[in-house]
Chains A and B, each alone.
Chain A
Amino acid sequence: QKEVEQNSGPLSVPEGAIASLNCTYSDRGSQSFFWYRQYSGKSPELIMFIYSNGDKEDGRFTAQLNKASQYVSLLIRDSQPSDSATYLCAVDPGNQFYFGTGTSLTVIP
């Protein structure tokens, strides 16, 4: 099993703040990186993906990738209570999608 590590949290931020979620991975051959959001009792849903070093922005979400450090992060700007969920990092060394344990985020109104 490839290693994908996340801080399990819980992470609490006030409404309107920036939430920062981090993920490290062990397989240097990994090509693609995905962030999924999972609400309690629901299945994971894709937020965004990244495969080039640097930043990728999509609305309030920014994914950051540093392959040299084997590190990927997700920033959520202007956090809303509806962002409260578990965020799963997934790493793809060749379309085999290994998941971390997830970080639980709570946005406090």
Chain B
Amino acid sequence: EAGVAQSPRYKIIEKRQSVAFWCNPISGHATLYWYQQILGQGPKLLIQFQNNGVVDDSQLPKDRFSAERLKGVDSTLKIQPAKLEDSAVYLCASSLDYTRVVYNSPLHFGNGTRLTVT
């Protein structure tokens, strides 16, 4: 089974520039998550999709961050304009289906994109 694919692995940009990250979840996984992990901290949920609908985006800074999952498979996360404090690893994860009462439905993470904003 192929894992969660993310690209790029690394990105360095200057503040006020824009950047986009791409994620392809595990085949058949309906739920997709974007997390931000700042060095020394745990992952923080930015947005959660169920198929192509948004379940939770309460912690997404919507003035600069946007995300979409148009066909219910791939997803992109965009930052525009970037700030210094956006330097972090952006992790994409997927799980089978959050609407099912399946207690052992864990998250599977991609390798992440390390963003450095200078």
Chain A interface residue bracket vs B: 20 to 34
Offer 17 A-B interface pairs, CB within 8 angstroms, sorted by A.
A4-B42, A34-B106, A43-B110, A44-B43, A49-B106, A90-B107, A95-B99, A95-B105, A96-B55, A96-B98, A97-B107, A98-B45, A99-B42, A99-B43, A99-B44, A100-B42, A101-B40
Are A31's CB and B103's CB within 8 A? yes
Interface residue? A88 (CB, 8 A): yes
Binding site for B on A (CB under 8 A): 1, 4, 6, 31-32, 34, 42-46, 49, 51, 88, 90, 94-102
Q: Is the CB of A43 within 8 A of B106?
A: no
Expressed in whole angstroms, the minimum distance between the Cβ of B38 and any Cβ of chain A is 10
Known: A45-B109, A49-B104, A90-B107. A96 touches B45 (CB 8 A): yes
